[in-house]
Chains A and B, each alone.
Chain A
Amino acid sequence: MGLAKRIIPCLDVDNGRVVKGVQFVDIRDAGDPVEVARRYDREGADEITFLDITASSDDRETMVHVVEEVAAEVFIPLTVGGGIRTLEDIRRMLNAGADKVAINTAAVFRPEFVREATERFGSQCIVVAIDAKQVNEKGEEPRWEIFTHGGRKPTGIDAIDWARKMVDYGAGELLVTSMDRDGTKIGFDLPLTRAISDAVSVPVIASGGVGNLEHLAEGVLEGAADAVLAASIFHFAEYSIHEAKERMAAAGIEMRL
């Protein structure tokens, strides 16, 4: 008996439509965020994260409507990331029905933004997304750095120091994505996840690299993650969320089944 580890499916949304090929045979419109979110909720998702990848900021308003529609029908926690740059962006998403927002680039450009956001809205709704890449030479102690622009631009900031700083600034949760692993399907960067989880007091979500259900269990058992986030393995219906939870429970992990 105790707190369950969480599985969080992540949906990329471009101008109001789910992209990166969600494929379900039993869904009428696989591009409709509401339908996809409902499906994940039925399968037992513990939370859902929407990543707004809309390029033009003029079209961001669309994401507000997406959140409103999903929040009217899906009663589990919802997180929105992508393009969150101002306190007004956060207020609009929370009012639309999001429970948390994920701040990424804006925190790197101006760390004080995280402090202002947590003071205004409370730590419980501020997730800081950390995109990290391993930068040490072979044979050296592992070291990771924060990257921006989808992993293309180094910042020189040490990922572990950054994680501690963001928690000091009030972040209620950290979403840690390995830019080395993202899209590879070879599993999380477990040493990275573990190093950050051990360094901070708040929950850590592991992300980047999931290719099978063992990877999810490893994220918790070896990476010490409190939650695991994945996209493609659920979108292509390779595995259902329920199946993933059963596999994790069989590995001795406390889950909500």
Chain B
Amino acid sequence: MKTIAVIDYGMGNLRSVAKALEHVAAPGTRIDVTSDPERVYRADRVVFPGQGAARDCMRELQSRGLDEVVLECSRQKPFLGICMGMQVLMEFSEENAGTDCLGIYSGKVLYFGDDLTDSVSGLRLKIPHMGWNQIHQAQPHPLWKDIDQDSRFYFVHSYYVQPDDTGLIAGETHYGRVFTSVIARDNVFAIQAHPEKSAAAGLQLLSNFSRWNGETQT
């Protein structure tokens, strides 16, 4: 039996992620929502979800000894970061007056800004960026299998990732500006949107992840 660990570090609701995975995972897959580092190490695949603020997220990870696990697993096995679980992979977030993150990739997490306007209409855009927006697939990837180019996913966030290495960018989204909504490298895929709340496209992505061997060839 294969296991997907959903890392539970006390930040918000993991039930949706677990339920969506149970709904679509390859037969014989066990979904293990856990805060036990050993169980995360033993899993075949790892999902790193998250919501809330960057500083709380980092503090909870560190206090539970899960930061090391995330670093290790991000080098070894199919790894899916979601929302805050994408942002903290970077070096630094502007949130909470500046928060040092895990630094797996060089780059920052930036605030959208209070003066964000729509480039076409000139209207002021609301923060958080909340609702269904398109993800433009910037490179082929096994996790995009059977998902249409520019499909809509559900987002809710006020900060976005800006990687130094543009080769990491696997998806882009437009909200007042073009921002990186998906990064991918080797066995890691991380998405700003919530696939567990993104209806058919999101379920397809989770299904693809549950069958992914961690290689990037499509």
Contact = CB atoms under 8 A, between A and B. Distances in A.
B198 A3 contact: no
Interface stretch (A27-35, A52-60, A92-100): A92-100
A4 interface: yes
Nearest to B83: A124
Given A2-B174, A41-B199, A226-B126, A125 B12 contact: yes
A76 interface: yes
A75 B175 contact: no
Contact of A3 (B15, B131, B197): B131
A98 B196 CA distance: 12
Interface stretch (B16-24, B72-80, B184-192): B16-24
A43 B203 CA distance: 17
Contact of B199 (A6, A76, A122): A76
A124 B156 contact: yes
A161 to B, nearest CB: 19
A90 to B, nearest CB: 11
Contacts of A124: 51-52, 128, 130, 156-157
Contacts of A227: 131
Contact of B128 (A72, A172, A204): A172
Contacts of A1: 134, 136, 150, 174
Given A75-B197, A75-B198, A77-B197, A97 B13 contact: yes
A71 interface: yes
B174 to A, nearest CB: 5
B150 A76 contact: no
Nearest to B126: A203
Contacts of A172: 128, 130, 156
Interface residues on A, range: 20 to 34
Given A2-B118, A46-B132, A75 B203 contact: yes
Contact of A71 (B15, B51, B128): B15
Given A2-B175, A95-B13, A122-B51, A201 B133 contact: no
A203 B125 CA distance: 9
A256 interface: yes
Contacts of A71: 15-16, 19
Interface in A1-55: 1-6, 41, 46
A3 B199 contact: no
A73 B20 CA distance: 8
Contacts of B120: 2
A227 B114 CA distance: 20
B154 interface: yes
Contacts of B134: 1-2
B171 to A, nearest CB: 13
B73 to A, nearest CB: 25
B53 interface: yes
Given A1-B174, A99-B197, A122-B53, A226 B130 contact: yes
Given A77-B154, A202-B126, A226-B131, 15 more contacts: A2-B118, A3-B125, A4-B131, A6-B132, A75-B16, A75-B23, A75-B199, A94-B13, A99-B16, A121-B12, A122-B52, A124-B157, A172-B156, A173-B130, A203-B126
13 contacts: A3-B175, A5-B131, A46-B131, A75-B202, A95-B15, A97-B16, A99-B16, A122-B52, A124-B128, A125-B13, A125-B51, A172-B128, A203-B128
